[in-house]
Structure formats: C-alpha cells, structure tokens
Amino acid sequence: MALFVTCLVDLFRPSVGFAAVKLLEEAGCTVEVPPLQVCCGQPAYNSGDRATTRAIAAQVVEAFDGYDAVVAPSGSCAGMLTHHYPSLFEDDPAMQARAKNLADRSHELTSFLVDVLGMTKVAARYDGVATYHDSCSGLRELGVKQQPRRLLASVEGLELREMTSPEVCCGFGGTFCVKYPEISNAMVGEKSADIAAAGADTLLAGDLGCLMNMAGKLQREGRAVRVRHVAEVLAGLGDEAPIGEPGGSRR
C-alpha cells in the first residue's frame, strides 16, 4: 500500500507521516511512499482553477497507480481523492475511470485502521487530558468520527474530554484563512475558547491544516494546550515537541 504524505505534513510536520507509517507497519502493511506525489490540488480546486486541479489530479492518479490502498493522514486530502477527483474528468471517460478507481482505494488514516483493517486498539501511552476536533471533510465527507476516538480510548494514560462543539469548523479552510483573515479569526477564536473550556491539556485532530490554525491561535492567546496530530499519539510518538513548540525532531 501507499502513503499519501500530504504537502503540509511533508513540509511542516514530518513526524505525522512517520507516525502513519509506524501504525500501518505495525498493522502488517508494507508501506511505500511514491515519489511522484506532491499535493492533492485543493488550493487550486477551491480557488476555482479547474485546469490546474485536473493536471495535479492526473499526476496523483499516476503516482498511486497499482497500489491496493492509498492512505492519507488527513480527511481533507483523502476526501479530495475520494469525493472530488472523479467529477474533475466528466469529459474524459478513460481518465475518470482511473480517478474512480483511485477513489475506491483511498482512505483517511484512522478510518483505514479501524474500518478496513479492523484495528480496535493501539499500544501507546500518553499522559494527558485530550480533546478531539472533528475536521470538516473527514467528518462530513468520510464519516470519520468514532474511529479516532475508539483508538484513543485504548491509549494508556489518556483521558478524552469532549468540547461543546467539536464538529464546528475551526476557520482554517485552506486559502480562506488568509483571504478572509478576520472571519477566520472570529471562528478560530471561538474554537480556542471551546477547547479551553473543555479543560484539556492536549488538542488532537486528524488534519494538519486545522491543527496549525488552532495551535497558532491557542499560542497567540497564551493558552497552555499542547497540539498534536492524532496519529502521533496513536503511534506512541507523543513525546515529539507539540506543534508550534520548540524542540528538534528525534530522528
């Protein structure tokens, strides 16, 4: 099977990729990372640039040709592959068939672990009280809700405490957060207050974009919440420096 690293993880948080590899390998998968992959194309897609999106999508289809499963540590990128790629090629039946085929093989990480591999627990320890934010695409396009919680419940030392509105958008929205910074700020400000009110010391989610947005706000507001990708905690890499905190990688 293949790992779709995603562009944000590649550039800003490689440990999420290694956490995903560790979880998948421990579950018995042989993980490859096709070098042709870059980004799923959402920046172009969500800006209305269909031609560029198609070119990038075609490249992704090519990159992951032949793997029996393609897994991304992101609901947003996985959702792009599964829900949007096929519709990009309405006028190109051959390409559309390949895109549909990729869509059928693509999965978000926690959903792949639980729904496909049947994983029920992980061997990890994390000392803290965590709250989990449901990123929008994962939740509403892919139905990722119970899978991460189920696995987190097996992490030793971790207590999960829900916030009031875990399903409300954090205001990231890709380019939205820089195109409409004031609205985005109002949204992430509310999210940050909700996180703080939950009384958790750790914030987890399955999408790095949302995590960077929330981490940035929590830190600007001086709130002492450690922010991590759920894969890191599940893989036992919970001792990496949290997102936006100093401290080098261990590798």
Q: Which of residues 72-101 bind another protein (CB under 8 A)?
A: none
Q: Rank residues 147 and 184 by Cβ distance to another protein and give the closer one.
A: 184
Contact set for another protein, span 135-174 (CB under 8 A): 136-137, 140-141, 167-169, 171-174
φ, ψ of residue 131 in degrees (nearest 5):
-125, 145
Specify whether the backbone of 132 is left (phi greater than 0), alpha (psi in -120 to 50) or beta. beta
Contact set for another protein, span 222-241 (CB under 8 A): 240-241
Element (H, E) at 156: strand 156-160
- The correct pick among 217, 226, 228, 229 for binding another protein (CB under 8 A) is 217
Contact set for another protein, span 6-45 (CB under 8 A): 7, 9-15, 17-18, 33, 35-39, 41, 43-45
Contact 147, 88 (CB under 8 A): no
d(Cα 127, Cα 130) in Å, to the nearest integer? 9
Give least dist CB 132 to another protein, A.
Answer: 17
Question: What is the dihedral angle through the alpha carbons of 130, 169, 56, 72, rounded to the nearest 10 degrees?
Answer: 20
188 forms part of the interface with another protein (CB under 8 A): yes
Q: Rank residues 37 and 106 by Cβ distance to another protein and give the closer one.
A: 37
Q: Per this entry, what is the length of the chain?
A: 251
Contact set for another protein, span 103-142 (CB under 8 A): 136-137, 140-141
